Amino acid sequence: MRKPDVQNIINKLNEMGAKKILLQLPDGLKPQAYDLFNALSRQFSVVISSGGFYGACDVGTYEMYSDVDCIVQLGHSIMPNVRYPKPIIFEEFFFENDLDLERISLDILSGYHNIGLLFSIQYMHLAAKVGDFLTGKGFHPIIGKQDERMAYPGQVIGCNFSSAHSISGEVDCYLVVSTGKFHAIGVQLSADKETFILDVNEMRIVSMKDETDRFLRKRYAKISRAVDAKNICVVADTKIGQYRIKLAELLMKQATSLGLNPILLKADDVKPSDYENLRCDAVVFTGCPRVSIDDEDKFSMPILTPPEFQSLFKIKSPGRYVMDEITAVDNMP
Ligand code: SF4
């Protein structure tokens, strides 16, 4: 990963006349915190958020940003349909290594022609190169249009696969340029179509089918534990790009009409002990979909996404697993 372009950040801050800034770093960039702080402090009053920021959906709480002119968040791209509370600079940075694509075997893609090309933001600059490579080998790569939550065509994040949906009728399979498997599993499940990952660390293309089957087995085992739940916590996360209070209220109504005993909660920090103290049987979480999935083992009770809850209690019966996706959020009060 290359270093953030500090001069570019300084130029943008000067253009907006900022004096006091809040700097937000993903955990992978925290080791550079001293260098960044010192470089920016020559011109600006800087404070760094110590917490983790996993996406542009999270710019911290009012207490953190109330007395700054600008937030600088590194590593993520803007969510165009989120109403941020302060001017924000999203400084993206990209995977640095050049790819020797000729090393990659394409045998696994034989039988496919139209390939939906997707990427996570760190690999966006490689999309054209991968597309040219595929074209040169006789494939037809297609990059899908994103919805208003996403900044770039072809981009996927853990809660939004709109770039895949927009071309689902045109492609035979998807190829996700990434390293982590979650995005590719998400594409396979949400688009219900064969998906491969071009793993840029391992320089190989791998089918997501076995991973997706494993994911589903584990997930269904977890979800089924909630079938006898009575006391439910329905949680709205107050992070600005995760705030779905209307969905939480709808889930409250649905749970009540089923004869369950739901309570509505707001939270910024999702701690398993909070729900243990509440003695709830299951949590339905409307914030980041990855919390229910990545952190499931931290919770002693099942923690479900909204579609999982609606499917388990037969409010909706889509006949297959539905990924929770965020397309838009509610405005914060
Ligand atoms: S809601 Fe979750 S998956 Fe979506 S951008 Fe935020 S951290 Fe990533």
Domain ranges of the chain: 6-91, 101-215, 225-312
Is 170 within 8 Å of 143 (Cβ atoms)? no
- Residue 2: pLDDT over 70: no
Report, in angstroms and rounded to the nearest whole number, the Rg of the chain calculated over CA atoms. Answer: 21
- The lowest-confidence range among 1-5, 210-214, 284-288 is 1-5
Tokens representing 65 are 């940003």
Closest residue by Cα to atom 2, ligand 1, is: 288
Q: Residue 325 Cα, ligand 1 centroid: separation in angstroms?
A: 10
136 CB-contact burial (10 Å; exposed 0-12 / middle 13-18 / buried 19+): exposed
The 10s digit of each residue's pLDDT in 55-93 is 999 999 888 999 999 999 998 999 999 999 999 999 987
The pair of three-digit structure tokens given for residue 310, joined into one six-digit string:
């609606």
The domain 6-91 having CATH identifier 3.40.50.20: the answer here is no
Surface-to-core class of residue 253, CB atoms within 10 Å of its CB (0-12 exposed, 13-18 middle, 19+ buried): exposed
Residue-wise pLDDT tens digits, 188-227: 999 999 999 999 888 999 999 999 999 999 999 999 999 9
Same fold for the domain at 6-91 and the one at 225-312? yes
Given the candidates 1.10.287.990, 3.40.50.1970, 3.40.50.300, 3.40.50.11860, the CATH classification of the domain at 225-312 is 3.40.50.11860
DSSP type of residue 73: E
Out of 3.40.50.720, 3.40.30.10, 3.50.50.60, 3.40.50.11850, the CATH code matching 101-215 is: 3.40.50.11850
Euclidean distance between CA atoms 158 and 186, whole angstroms: 7
Say yes or no: CB of residue 54 within 6 Å of ligand 1.
yes
Burial bucket for residue 210 (CB in 10 Å: 0-12, 13-18, 19+): exposed
Write out pLDDT tens, residues 219-277.
Answer: 999 999 999 999 999 999 999 999 999 999 999 999 999 999 999 999 998 889 999 99
Q: 133-186: per-residue pLDDT in tens?
A: 999 999 999 999 999 999 999 999 999 999 999 999 999 999 999 888 889 999
Of 73, 149, 178, 242, the residue with max ligand 1 atoms within 8 A of its CB, to mutate for a pocket test, comes to 242
CA 165 to chain centroid: 16
Provide the pLDDT for residue 183. Answer: 93
Our answer on whether the CB atom of 150 is closer than 6 Å to any ligand 1 atom is no
User: Which residue's alpha carbon is at the smallest distance from atom 4 of ligand 1?
Assistant: 159
> Crossing angle, helix 209-224 and helix 182-191, to 10 degrees?
80
Determine the length of the chain.
Answer: 333
Distance 107 CA to ligand 1 centre (A): 33
| C-alpha span between 291 and 119 (Å, rounded) | 21
Residue 254 Cβ contacting ligand 1 at under 6 Å: no
pLDDT greater than 90 at residue 100: no
Backbone angles phi, psi at 182, to 5 degrees: -60, -45
